[in-house]
Amino acid sequence: MKLHVQHHGNPSNPPLALLHGWALHGDFWPELVDELAQHYYCYNIDLPGHGQSASGTWTLTQFSQTLAQTLPPQCVVLGWSLGGIAAQHFALNYPMHLKALVLVASTPRFLRAPDWPHAAKHDAFDQLASDMHQQFEKTVGDFMKLTLLSGERPKVPWRELQRRAFQHSAPDAKSLQNGLNILAATDFRFHVERIYAPTLCLSGSHDRLTPPQASEFMAEKITKGEWVNIQGAGHAPFMSHPEAFQQALMPWLANLS
């Protein structure tokens, strides 16, 4: 598996990896990358089949293996949404590679279950998967509106977000379907307690895809877990509430021993 990685910042600074969400890429969140690059050497990674990473089907196991070969030891990993699920898998399987974990609008289980109400509905998810094969750009645009325009709107204009989303060639359909399959099949609720690295769970109070209760659950289960719920934010709190997001994130990172 070949991953496209952009490096930002001073190589002498501590390493930090960023993993984006479904159907997007590493160029989608430059404001956050620029902020982190002032203090860390950032590995801004395109998930498989997204952005400029090689296309094709993939599994969390394959991705974590490649990530372990790509990142230096004792790296901080920040994962948003699907990237957060990938980050959880990496933390569970390569704990010695990890210094700390930041889970943004993430969840241990994406779809609802009788004992898990803090998640997306199956019918909406199935409709997304069906529409993707017929009207890709419209479906991704609708998905972005759901994820980015819930809660207060991002500081970045909507037209600019659309431009960023499609600035690279369209993501590989098989890889996108794989990402949906991963979201549908993954359930880390009974495993996150084995994450021992310091973990910050950041959520948006108005997130309709990964409700804040999912972040609260993870923070309670993880031994060194902490939870910050950003009021008024949706699924992309780093875009709608950058000041509050950075006020929660940066001191926490600075206090890592």
Catalytic positions, written as ranges: 81, 207, 235
Sheet holding 199-204, edge to edge: 5-8, 41-45, 15-19, 75-80, 98-104, 199-204, 225-230
Residue with tokens 């890889």: 175
Q: Which residues of 147-163 are buried (b: 16+ CB within 10 A; e: fewer)?
A: bbbbbbebebeeeebee
Strands 15-19 and 199-204: unpaired
Q: Taking Cα atoms as reference points, which of 181, 231, 238 lies closest to residue 205?
A: 231
109-131 in b/e form (b: 16+ CB < 10 A) is bbbeeeebebbbeeeebeebeee
Beta carbons of 20 and 50 less than 8 angstroms apart: yes
**Which residue carries 């159907």 as its tokens?**
23
C-alpha distances in Å from residue 134, one per residue of 27, 121, 139, 143, 170: 26, 21, 9, 14, 14
Sign for the CA dihedral angle at 177, 202, 158, 33 comes to: negative
Tokens of 240: 């709608």
Are 88 and 188 within 8 A, CB to CB? yes
The residue to which tokens 């199956």 are assigned: 122
